[in-house]
Amino acid sequence: MAQIFLPKQGSTEIEPLQFDVELRKVFKVFNGETAVRGVDIAIRPGEFFSILGPSGCGKTTTLRLIAGFETPSAGEVLIQHKSMNHVPAYRRPVNTVFQSYALFNHLSVAENIAFGLRIKKLSKSEVEARVKEALKSVQMLEYARRFPNQLSGGQQQRVALARALVNRPAVVLLDEPLGALDLKLRKEMQVVLSKLHKDLGLTFVMVTHDQEEALSLSDRIAVMRGGKIEQVGTPAEIYECPRTPFVADFIGDTNLFEGRVTVDDSSLVKVFTGKGLEIIVKTNDQERSLPKNSHKVVVSVRPEKIKLSLEPPTTTQNCFEARLKHIMYLGTHIHYLVELTATGDSVQVMQPNTIAKLPEVNTSIYAHWLAEDCLALVD
């Protein structure tokens, strides 16, 4: 694995960046079935890192390997540069927040948070001070004497967070932490999580299947599929520059066109789909090798990149006659479904709600997009 080097402050010396969490070629096999396949991850101190993927992709198993609830079949798990392969969960400098909260219903909020501290046999005064500090951090101080069944779902999740933070772990692990909450509460808790992360400066590692949640909270995201990492990058990199058709399709909405390519020059690719569309793709990413002539590719075009017009636009590149098939009013935006006249391809279009009157269904229309607004991806 490549090391990242940073100069010491006030010095010209170079030293390796200390990662808080590393997984090196980690595998996990259950009864002959491989759940995690050679995963390499390096998570920086203070980073909010999300592992994102569909059900069954191996993301929760990966988190459990970091937590110590599972042991790698091969490879190595390190926390703060120390191997954890033979370190039990209770001795690792991590705390986990579960989707189910896992609170003790017979204990008050304060007693739930103090539970781990009392096991460590800290003094009563230190326990009280740290519990108060943890409750303040999640804005739950006034609920200290209540019991979990007297709290809302969002309040219970705040208590679970406080309990994880009170032990001052090096790494906080979040297993679908907002999955049990309704939409409004999830939005509120996203703000709480983001603020906590910024205020405390701890390393957060979150598992989620919610793309919006990962995009809004994370410094970097690892997208998983079939036990493997498909791509690691910032939210903008993952959304704007997906490396595979799976990542493009899984992160947000997109339109995918399968075809074969010819390369005109170093920055343009022509894609001919099986149904006869000619799509021009412009690429300025010199690190990515362009697909060769006749190679199969998938072109990805985000719905918000596509423009609609009732009159023929001046451009002829990536411009297709179509018919409007469905309109969905979403308040701030309008979602259109159009059918390309020449091929019958269905195309999703998302546009800001800036027009006074919506066009009628079955209206003839033109769909068009810029060559730089689409990507040619090799699976």
Q: Is the pLDDT of residue 319 over 60?
A: yes
Looking at the structure, tell me whether residues 185 and 84 fall in a common domain: yes
Please give the average per-residue pLDDT across 175-193, as a whole number: 81
Looking at the structure, tell me whether residues 163 and 288 fall in a common domain: no
Residue 97 lies in a domain: yes
Looking at the structure, tell me whether residues 164 and 90 fall in a common domain: yes
Looking at the structure, tell me whether residues 221 and 258 fall in a common domain: no
Looking at the structure, tell me whether residues 107 and 212 fall in a common domain: yes
Task: From residue 275, give the alpha-carbon distance in Å to each of 163, 206, 262, 338, 340.
Answer: 57, 41, 16, 16, 11
In terms of pLDDT, which residue wins out, 70 or 360? 70
Mean pLDDT taken over the chain: 87
Q: For residue 174, what are its two tokens?
A: 């979040």
Looking at the structure, tell me whether residues 320 and 217 fall in a common domain: no
Looking at the structure, tell me whether residues 216 and 352 fall in a common domain: no
Question: What range does the domain containing 52 cover?
Answer: 17-240
Residue 246 lies in a domain: no
Write the DSSP symbol of residue 30.
E
Neighbours of 276 (CB within 10 A): 9
Task: From residue 112, give the alpha-carbon distance in Å to each of 18, 115, 151, 166, 231.
Answer: 33, 5, 13, 11, 38
Which residues are CB-neighbours of 183 under 8 A, at least 6 positions away? none
pLDDT tens-place string over residues 87-145:
999 899 999 888 777 888 899 999 888 888 888 888 888 888 989 888 888 888 888 89
Boundary residue ending a domain (194, 219, 240): 240
**Phi, psi values for residue 185, rounded to 5°:** -65, -35
Looking at the structure, tell me whether residues 214 and 361 fall in a common domain: no
Residue 204 lies in a domain: yes
Neighbours of 201 (CB within 10 A): 8
Number of domains in the chain: 2
- Name residue, tokens 């391809």: 345
User: Do the beta carbons of residue 52 and residue 222 sit within 8 Å?
Assistant: yes
Residue 7 lies in a domain: no
Boundary residue ending a domain (240, 275, 302): 240
Boundary residue ending a domain (240, 263, 294): 240
Query: Which stretch, 166-175, 189-198, 225-234, 269-278, has highest mean pLDDT?
Result: 225-234
Query: Which stretch, 50-54, 294-298, 309-313, has highest mean pLDDT?
Result: 50-54
Q: Which CATH number does the domain housing residue 167 bear? A: 3.40.50.300
Looking at the structure, tell me whether residues 270 and 353 fall in a common domain: yes
Q: Which CATH number does the domain housing residue 312 bear? A: 2.40.50.100
User: Do the beta carbons of residue 39 and residue 212 sit within 8 Å?
Assistant: no
Q: What percent of the chain has pLDDT over 90?
A: 53
Residue 125 lies in a domain: yes
Looking at the structure, tell me whether residues 142 and 265 fall in a common domain: no
Residue 98 lies in a domain: yes
For residues 377 and 291, give the distance between their C-alpha atoms in angstroms, rounded to a whole number.
Answer: 8
pTM: 0.85
Residue 8 lies in a domain: no
Looking at the structure, tell me whether residues 345 and 229 fall in a common domain: no
Please give the average per-residue pLDDT across 168-194, as a whole number: 84
pLDDT at residue 5, rounded to an integer: 32
